[in-house]
Amino acid sequence: MGFTPEALLFAVFSVSSVIAALGVVVIRDPVKAALSLIACFFSISCLFVLQSAELLAVLEILVYAGAIMVLFVFVIMLVENRDEAIVNPALGQRLGVPLKLAAVALVAFALLNGVRRAGLSTPEDLPTDFGSVSSVGHEFFDNFLFHFEVTSVLLLVGIVGAVVISKRRKPQT
């Protein structure tokens, strides 16, 4: 398979996703690091679109960028004191940076390797409704119903746990 516009776009968004991921690790200001993470989610979402997984791309933005990161930014804004930078990071934090960089490098390698091979599957060998809402839905509810239900129970447990923990902090009267 030769050089196609899709391959070029794939390269652009892989590079931007890696740079954004790097930004999350190295930027000191937590709000900007969070924004960098959002940029990373966007790039990944574009990669999904290029691989005909439109539903996944939309859900990536809707759930991660639109819901989870909004809460992240909201909490950072609430608790952060802007004048207070981390001057003397603990040992764990010092160790954390090389580990994170290594993780980013690994992802970068995987993505760039994908670019090198340009092994984007051609549309012919995919079913026409690949990645559409109905096909993903059928996969969920026909073939993976049990896993789907177990996941939702797990999420419910998480919600109940969050409520229990937040209630315990309240002074007993």
Partner 1 sequence: MDVWLPYAWDVVRLGGMLAILLGLAGPLTWAERRQSAMIQDRIGPNRAAIKIGNKEWRAFGLLHPLADVIKLLTKEDTVNIRADRFLYNLAPFISLVPALVTFAVIPFGPDVTINGVAYPLQVARLDAGILYMFAVSSLAVFGVSLAGYASASKLAMMGGLRAAAQMISYEVAMGLSIMGLVLYYGTLEPYAMVRAQGELLFGFLPAWGVFVQPLAFILFFTAATAENKRIPFDLAEGESEIIGYFVEYSGMKFGMFYMAEYIEVIVVAGTLTTLFFGGWQIPYLMDHGFVFPWGGGLDLSHAAVTVLRIGAFMGKLLFFCWFQLMLRWTLPRFRYDQVMSLGWRRLLPISLANLVVTAAVVLWLEA
Give the nearer residue to partner 1 in terms of CB position, either 61 or 107. 61
**CB-count burial class (<10 Å; 0-12, 13-18, 19+) for 41:** buried
134 Cα distance to chain centroid: 23
Q: Give the closest residue to 24 by CA, choosing from 16, 32, 13.
A: 32
- Least gap, CB of 52 to partner 1 (angstroms): 10
For the CB of residue 113, give the shortest distance to partner 1 in the complex, in Å. Answer: 29
Nearest C-alpha neighbor of 47 from the set 132, 2, 112, 100? 112
Residues 6+ away with beta carbon under 8 Å from 156: none
Under the binding rule (CB under 8 A), the answer on residue 28 touching partner 1 is no
In the bound state with partner 1, the residue whose beta carbon lies nearer, of 5 and 92, is: 5
Q: Which of 1, 8, 26, 62 binds partner 1 (CB under 8 A)?
A: 62
Q: Applying CB under 8 A, does 118 fall inside the site for partner 1? A: no
Asked whether the beta carbons of 101 and 25 are under 8 A apart, the reply is: yes
Give residues 126-165 in contact with partner 1 (rule: CB under 8 A).
132-133
**Residue 111 interacting with partner 1 (CB under 8 A):** no
Q: Which stretch binds partner 1 (CB under 8 A): 12-20, 65-73, 96-104, 158-166?
A: 65-73
Of 134 and 172, the one with the shorter C-beta distance to partner 1 is 134
Tell me whether residue 38 or residue 50 sits nearer to partner 1 (CB atom). 38
- Determine the angle formed by the axes of helices 5-26 and 30-50, rounding to 10 degrees: 160
Number of residues that bind partner 1 (CB under 8 A): 24
Residue 43 one-letter amino acid? S
Helices (H) and strands (E) in the chain, counts: 7, 0
16 lines the binding site for partner 1 (CB under 8 A): no
Task: Give the residues lining the site for partner 1 (CB under 8 A).
Answer: 29, 31-32, 35, 38, 54-55, 58-59, 61-62, 65-67, 69-71, 73-74, 77-78, 82, 132-133
